Structure 1
Amino acid sequence: MLRLLMRALAWPFKWLLALLILFEEWGWEPLQRGLARIGRSPGLRWIEAWVRRLPPYGALALFALPALALLPIKILALWLIGLGRVVLGTTVILLTKLVGTAVLARLFTLTQPALMQLGWFARAYGRWSRWKQGLLAWVRASAMWRTARFWRLSLRRRWRAQMRRWRPGQPRRASRRQRGADV
């Protein structure tokens, strides 16, 4: 009975965790690339070079810094929600999550070679990566995910078709399938 109860409670938790990881996956690369573009500016290039040269434990300390720096902002957001300013507090939390993900993604890209020199970190990262891939494979194999993906792609096709009808003078862009056949 206890095992059945634990399995019933684990299902929603697993989905919530999977959605959080999917958000991170969705945002990680584009946000990291956006910060990389900003980091190429002359005034900031030296900071990225300095971060790349950090020793392993220095990189680890720097990697932990965004979580600590954003904690007071998240507490402020919860305080705002407690005062009844739910929309403002939720907006602050979402923006903090977005900025935090961007900074963390860029820092990880810059510090990963140094962090992987730490044996325990490399092992933990390997386990985390395998576990995350398994969870994402479970989600992507689910009927709910496949249905949502079907609807998303269907809506995207309809949207593009509608946009082509609204802009008749624009040249039509070939689909992925058509571009692949031309190559």
Structure 2
Amino acid sequence: MRKYRKAKPEDDLEIAEISVQSWKFAYKGIMPDETLKSLDSQKRARERRDFLKENSLSTYICLESGKPVGFVDFEICRDKDCDKNVGEIWAIYISPEYIGKRIGKELFSISTNKLAQKGCSEIAVWVLSENKLAKEFYERQNLTADGKEREYLGLREIRYRKNIAPTQSSLHIS
């Protein structure tokens, strides 16, 4: 059975493992092989814990038969050209073997609903310009590129945006 819940500090390592698996899958051929080979779940979990000591970030995880298989990070948008009514999805990562099973769409729905409940009327997300899978996913969710670009790890990212409002959800969220 699939469930969703707010992440807890003890989930950091599993979140990091999903992140590393997802990066190796999604960014193969986009990021240098050395970068992907050097990814370390333990290090990423430590960096996440350190970040969360001083920063606000909302995270929900997807559990499939009790096993974490995906997560979404989101919060008020960090971009200086956005005001406080713009939320930002920082990351949606799914274990590669669970891609295509609607988990990404469901995590997207949870994050947009939670941001709308915080008073956001719009969301933004940054996507690597070469990440066709992510671009197609966000375009299916009716986000559109707004013309803003930036560099991330030597690669070009583009920003997508969309207006949002709270909706009813039939997902099991605890």
Q: Could you say which TM-score interval applies, normalised by the shorter chain?
A: under 0.3
The TM-score, its normalising length taken from structure 2, stands at: 0.21
Which structure shows the bigger proportion of residues in strand conformation?
A: 2
The TM-score, its normalising length taken from structure 1, stands at: 0.20
**Structure with bigger RCO (C-alpha 8 Å, 6+ apart):** 1
Which structure shows the bigger proportion of residues in helix conformation?
A: 1
Q: Bigger radius of gyration, 1 or 2? A: 1
